[in-house]
Structure 1
Amino acid sequence: MPYLEKTTAQKAVDVDIYFEDHGSGQPIILIHGWPLSGAMWEYQVPALIDAGYRVITYDRRGFGRSSRPYTGYDYNTMTEDLQDLIKKLDLQDVILAGFSMGGGELAQYAGTFGTSRVSKFIFISSIAPYLLKTDDNPNGAPDEVFKGMEENVRKDRAGFLKGFGEGFVNYEDNKNRVSKGQLDYNFNIAANASPKGTLDCINAFGRTDLRKALEKIDIPTLFIHGDADNIVPVEPSSKQGHEIVKGSKLEMIKDAPHGLYLTHKEELNKLILDFIK
C-alpha cells in the first residue's frame, strides 16, 4: 500500500500518511473531513476518474490508515503533510478540494506555500476561514460549542460520534437519501480514528483563524455549501470565504446538510466537474 513516510531530523520514520492514487490526467487531491478518512470520497472518485482526472485521496494523520501520533494535529503540521505528498508525487497544476475540516488545509496551504503548484481550490462544506465567534467575527460559533464537543469526546467519544453522525446528514430529513448502513459505516471510520487526534482536531478547525491565509488565494476558487448545514454555519465559513477570495464563486445546494457528499452527491459532483472543466 502507498504511504508517504514523514521523517524526523534523525531520519527515523515518524509518521506514515496513507494515500491512494488512481486515474490519469490533471491531478486532483481530495482532503477529507473530521472525523472521517479518505474513504468518504467513495462516490466522488469514480465520477472524477471517468471524467479524465487523476484522483488522489489520503488519510490525515491520526485517521484512516495513517499513523496515529500523539501530537501534530494543528493546521501548520497537517498542511506540511499535504505539501510533502504533493512534492513526493511531483504534482503540478493540481486541483485541491477540501471537505469541512479539509477546507482548513486548503486555506493554510495558500497562506504557507502559495499557489505555484495549484490551479484551483474547491471548498466543500468548509470550516474556513474562521468558525469561532469573536468581536471581529460576530457570526461565528461561541467557544462553548467547541468546549462541549471536546468534553463529549473526552467523556464518551463513541457515544458522541454516534449522535454526531446523524446530525452530519440531517438523518431525519434525508432517510430517503442515506441509509442506516452508511451511518454505521461512517461511525466505524470515525470510531477507529486516534482518540487524541479526534480531540485535538476540534481545536484546529474550531479556533484557527484562516482569514489572512485566504487573502493570498489568487487562482480560481469555488465554495460549495448546503443551505441546511446544521454543523458548519455558512456565514463565518463559505460566505465569508467567498467575500475574502476575490473572483471566487459560491454555490449553495438547496436542502443539503453538512454531509452533502452523501445526500446530494449528484449535485455536488456536477458542481465540481463544471468548475474544473
Structure 2
Amino acid sequence: MPYITTDDGTEIFYKDWGTGQPIIFSHGWPLSSDAWDVEMKLAADNGFRAIAHDRRGHGRSSQTWYGNDMDTYAADLDALVRALDLRDLIVVGHSTGGGEAVRFAARHGVGRVVKVATVGAVPPVMVQSDTNPEGTPIEAFDSIRDALLADRSQFFKDLSAQFFGTNRPGSKISQGQRDQFWRLGMQAGFAAVHDCVKAFSETDFTEDLKALDVPVFIAQGDDDQIVPIADAAEKAIKLVKNGQLKVYPGAPHGIAGPYQQELDKDLLAFWLS
C-alpha cells in the first residue's frame, strides 16, 4: 500500500486513482479516505487524478500520540502534496477535513492550489467564545470526549443517526451506511479521535478563509446536526474573496443518499469549470 513518511516519522496512507489534474480529498472525523470512495471514482472517471489520505491517527496511517492538531494535519497534507509534486491542485474537504483543506491551501498551497471545495466544513470556528457568541458551547464538546472515554463504540453507533439524519422522518439512509461510519471510526486510534475533538471545535480558520484567493465552493445541508450551518457555511462565505455557497435543503452532515447524488453533480461541475 502507498505511504509517505513525514518529518516526525509518521506514516500517512494514501490512495491514488486515475490520471489528469489532481484532486486531493480530506476526510471528516473520525473516518478515513474510504469515506471519499464514490467521489474519487467520479473524479477519476472524468479525467482527474483522485488522491485521498488517511489523516494521522486515522485509518491505515500511524496511530500517533502527538500531532493531532490542525497545524500538523495541514503540514502532513503538504508533505503528501510535495512528495507527489502535485500542482494545479484542487482540494476538497468534508467536516474536519474541510478545516484541514482550508488551512493547507492558505498556508502551504500558494502556487499549487487552484480551487477549494468544502462540504459541511468546520470553518470558521465552531466553539462558542466572546468573539463567537453564536458558537456551540464548550460543554457540548466536553460531552463528546466523555462519551468517547465511556464507550466509544456505542457513541459512534448513536452518533451515526445524527450524522446521516436517520433520526428525521423520511430518511433514505441505509443501516449499511451507519455501520460503515462505525467501522471507519473504530479503525482510528483512540488518542487521535479524542484529541481531534479539540482540533475541529476550537481551531479558528478565519484568517485562512480570508487568505484564499482562488475559487471556493462551499456546500452544506441546512439540516446538518453536527456542524450548524449558521455558524459554518453561512459565515465562511462572507470571509472568502471568490466564493460560491450551495445550501442543500433538508440535507444532513454525512454525504450519502440523495444529498450525495446532488452534491456530486455540483462538485463535478466545479472541478470542470
Aligned runs of 1:198-217 on 2, under 5 Å? 198-217=193-212
Amino acid in the other structure paired with 1:180? Q
Q: Deviations over 1:11-33 (max 9, x none)?
A: xxx21000010111110001100
Q: Unmatched 5+ residue regions in structure 1?
A: 9-13
SS of match in other structure, 2:6: strand
Tell me, in whole angstroms, the C-alpha distance in 2 between the residues paired with 1:239 and 1:154.
Answer: 33
SS of match in other structure, 1:7: coil
Does the alignment pair 1:253 with 2:267? no
Does the alignment pair 1:5 with 2:10? no
Amino acid in the other structure paired with 2:7? T
CA apart distance, 1:110:
3.2
Counterpart pick for 2:137 among 138, 142, 149: 142
RMSD: 1.4
Instruction: Give the conservation status (yes or no) of the 8 Å contact 1:44–1:265.
Output: no
CA distance change for structure 1 residues 176 and 211 in 2, over 3 Å: closer, same or farther? closer
Counterpart pick for 1:158 among 153, 172, 175: 153
Tell me, in whole angstroms, the C-alpha distance in 2 between the residues paired with 1:114 and 1:87.
Answer: 10
SS of match in other structure, 2:117: strand
Amino acid in the other structure paired with 1:4? I
Amino acid in the other structure paired with 1:23? G
CA apart distance, 1:174:
7.0
Tell me, in whole angstroms, the C-alpha distance in 2 between the residues paired with 1:77 and 1:94.
Answer: 20
CA apart distance, 1:112:
2.0
SS of match in other structure, 2:232: helix
CA apart distance, 1:114:
4.4
CA apart distance, 1:214:
1.1
Aligned to 1:101: 96
CA apart distance, 1:175:
6.5
SS of match in other structure, 1:171: coil
TM-score by length of 2: 0.96
Aligned to 1:58: 53
Aligned runs of 1:189-200 on 2, under 5 Å? 189-200=184-195
Does the alignment pair 1:84 with 2:79? yes
How many correspondences in the alignment? Answer: 272
CA apart distance, 1:138:
2.1
CA apart distance, 1:2:
0.3
Q: Unmatched 5+ residue regions in structure 2?
A: none
Amino acid in the other structure paired with 1:72? G
Instruction: Give the conservation status (yes or no) of the 8 Å contact 1:43–1:265.
Output: no
